[in-house]
Amino acid sequence: MSPQSIIEAAIEVLGTNRFTLDGDGRIRIGSIGADPLFVSAPTMATIMDRADEIETDRLAKEARLAQFPNLEPDRFWAAVKFFGFEADLLTWVAAIKPTDPESPTYVHDLAFWSEAAAKLERAKYFERDHPMIEGARQNLGITEQQLDDMWVWALA
């Protein structure tokens, strides 16, 4: 397990980053006089359980990225055009631009549209699991398998 996963878990569990990780894998949270004060065994067990989850998630993301690496813009757009989704994708992005500033979700919707439009227009790369890609996939009626196939085609 990586020290980074333990540190991230400790921050979550302890609610602070004011601690140190010693060479024996213990978490020091302070001292009483000259004596170091470490987290309790139950707290350490909770931290390690969470660290296991964080590490598992990190490894899964790394494996997913290895399977579906980021695409350069030319490869992304080549796939979108080849599979016939260019017009639908551009129409979807134009359609999600909010028009009613009085809407309770206007700011959220404007932020999502801004991110999606900027991603399509100016991205240095496209991530398979980016929220904009997932939103487009769902709204265009593309299955996960179809998108995976498009991604693999673009990588070839």
At 60, the pLDDT band (50, 70, 90 cuts) reads very high
DSSP 70: P
Q: What is the pLDDT of residues 126-145, one digit of tens each?
A: 999 998 899 999 999 999 99
At 23, the pLDDT band (50, 70, 90 cuts) reads confident
Strand order in the sheet with 20-21: 20-21, 27-32, 35-38
CB–CB of 9/48 below 8 Å? yes
pLDDT mean over 51-69: 95
Who contacts 30 (Cβ-Cβ below 8 Å, separation ≥6)? 36, 37
Share of the chain above pLDDT 90, in %: 87
- The domain ranges of the chain are 3-67, 73-155
Between CA 118 and CA 131 the distance in angstroms is 13
Q: What is the pLDDT of residue 22?
A: 87
pTM of the entire structure? 0.71
Q: What is the pLDDT of residue 81?
A: 97
CB–CB of 21/3 below 8 Å? yes
